[in-house]
Amino acid sequence: MILAGMSSATRLLVADDVEIARRILAHIDAGTTDEGESWREPVENYLNPGRFAAELRMLRSMPSVFVPAATIPNPGDHVERIAFGVPLFAVRGRDQRARVFRNACRHRGFALVEAAGCAHALVCRYHGWTYRLDGSLSHVPHSDAFTDLDVSTRGLVEVPSREVDGLIVIGPLDSADVGRQESADDAMAWLTDGSPWRDKLVPAERLILVDSTLRAMNWKVLAEQFLEGYHIRSTHKDTFFPVQYDDLNVVERFGPNSRITFPYQNIERLRGRPESTWTTDARVTYLYQLFPNVMLATFPDVIAVVVIDPVDVGHSTVTTYSMVRPDVAARVSLSPTDRLVGAGSFIERGLVEDNEMSAGVQRGLQSGANEFVEFGRHESAIGHFHATLDERLAAASAGTPD
């Protein structure tokens, strides 16, 4: 059951594991999959720099997921990311609160955090200006040289953020008028109710790998590769297809977000067992698309949070944060050959194949063969993504809530 709004006191935004298993087994028996509306996306929307600039303005005016909370588990831990072209970093304070700041020293603008790490204070490498973990300015070398400096007003510039259900979510990076603020508040509500993913992500508190790669693809092409299972047989014939199903998915929407369930063939083992014992653990991959640019994927033993950052109309940075439960981390540390993520792993091989397909799509967009990209009824999560993007762009342009 999926509810259309956020006001119900008894929300159930996505189906529970038993209902998902029922739907999958029914699809297997019938040879079917979830269907929705088809969609045609103009090729121009992937190639036009003006359209990209409008998207970037809109994205900066809306809340979004910044990083998983597991990236900064302890006081002093910090991590940086360029979000929609804006350099930011998150840091865990001595009070255990996670804060997000614009990544610039208040002296000459040097990027204060250059890589993930842990520190008792944040010290600018250029001139040594020093900030406490709460962002306040604590030390300026030769401060007598700055006659008008008011230390109390020269702390780091904080971005409003919330830490909820394993994610650190940031508010809009650009100021908005009243109408757009209402729209942003609604979007924030959909990102800070983690009930759909809470029980999957929160236990995976150990970060084991971060990979960040610049790819020569429009950000929407990269988002699309996660949102359908119509390609499993042809793209993943030696990786995912032998253990999953081709073109068999359960698709759910909650607000601007989606969840796509990719079942494994071992879900058949549930047949004949009491439903009270059913679990989808290691029997499905759940893919949560958290609008606009974040994918949260569950694999056996691994949770991956993938952030797609638009750079320009033809380039995006893809950052993947891989996390596991503490018991899995202990098991892997005892068995160095148990490669869960990274080069050569099962997950990585599948992602390489997906990225090859996206690169091919990007080349094809330039060919002039098509006026639009065709998405069928079995790819309805992609249509939902594009429809939501269009609605947000229209609302941003009109200055009214969507």
Q: In this predicted model, what pLDDT tens digit does every residue of 113-150 receive, in sequence order? A: 999 999 999 999 999 999 999 999 999 999 999 999 99
Residue 179 covered by a domain: no
pLDDT of residue 11: 63
- Going by pLDDT thresholds of 50, 70 and 90, the confidence category of residue 183 is confident
Whether residue 54 sits in one domain with residue 69: no
Whether residue 294 sits in one domain with residue 243: yes
Whether residue 128 sits in one domain with residue 206: no
pLDDT of residue 181: 77
| Better-predicted residue by pLDDT, 182 or 10 | 182
Degrees, nearest 5: CA angle 332-284-272: 110
Residue 155 phi, psi (nearest 5): -70, 175
Provide the CA 317 distance to its chain's centre, in angstroms.
12
Rounded to an integer, the average pLDDT of 318-330 is 94
- Domain tally for the chain? 2
Domain boundary pick from 153, 170, 187: 170
| Better-predicted residue by pLDDT, 277 or 178 | 277
pLDDT of residue 223: 98
pLDDT of residue 330: 87
Residue 158 covered by a domain: yes
Whether residue 226 sits in one domain with residue 87: no
pLDDT of residue 402: 45
Average pLDDT of the chain, as a whole number:
93
pLDDT of residue 394: 92
Whether residue 129 sits in one domain with residue 203: no
Give the CATH number for residue 340: 3.90.380.10
Residue 400 has pLDDT above 60, yes or no: no
pLDDT of residue 281: 94
pLDDT of residue 31: 97
Residue 96 covered by a domain: yes
Of 15-19, 209-213, 282-286, 397-401, least confident by mean pLDDT is 397-401
Whether residue 299 sits in one domain with residue 234: yes
Whether residue 359 sits in one domain with residue 221: yes
Give the CATH number for residue 108: 2.102.10.10
Domain boundary pick from 135, 170, 205: 170
Whether residue 48 sits in one domain with residue 69: no
59: buried, middle or exposed (CB in 10 Å: 19+, 13-18, 0-12)?
buried
pTM greater than 0.75 (yes/no): yes
Residue 9 covered by a domain: no
pLDDT of residue 23: 98
Whether residue 276 sits in one domain with residue 152: no
Q: In this predicted model, what pLDDT tens digit does every residue of 244-294 receive, in sequence order? A: 999 999 999 999 999 999 999 999 999 999 999 999 999 999 999 999 999
pLDDT of residue 4: 40
pLDDT of residue 10: 45
- Going by pLDDT thresholds of 50, 70 and 90, the confidence category of residue 2 is very low
Residue 180 covered by a domain: no
Of 143-147, 340-344, 379-383, least confident by mean pLDDT is 340-344
What residue type is 172 in one-letter code? P
Domain boundary pick from 126, 153, 170: 170
* C-alpha separations of 345 from 64, 84, 351 in Å: 29, 30, 10
| Better-predicted residue by pLDDT, 140 or 12 | 140
Residue 189 covered by a domain: no
Residue 1 has pLDDT above 90, yes or no: no
pLDDT of residue 360: 97
pLDDT of residue 205: 95
pLDDT of residue 332: 79
Whether residue 211 sits in one domain with residue 154: no
Residue 334 has pLDDT above 70, yes or no: no
Residue 71 covered by a domain: yes
Q: In this predicted model, what pLDDT tens digit does every residue of 189-216 receive, in sequence order? A: 999 999 999 999 999 999 999 999 999 9
pLDDT of residue 335: 64
Residue 1 covered by a domain: no
Tokens for 138? 């604590």
CA–CA separation, 264 and 277 (whole Å)? 18
Whether residue 244 sits in one domain with residue 145: no
Whether residue 378 sits in one domain with residue 229: yes
Rounded to an integer, the average pLDDT of 52-62 is 96
Containing domain of residue 226, as a range?
17-58+197-397
| Cβ neighbours, 10 Å, residue 320 | 20
Q: In this predicted model, what pLDDT tens digit does every residue of 343-371 receive, in sequence order? A: 888 899 999 999 999 999 999 999 999 99
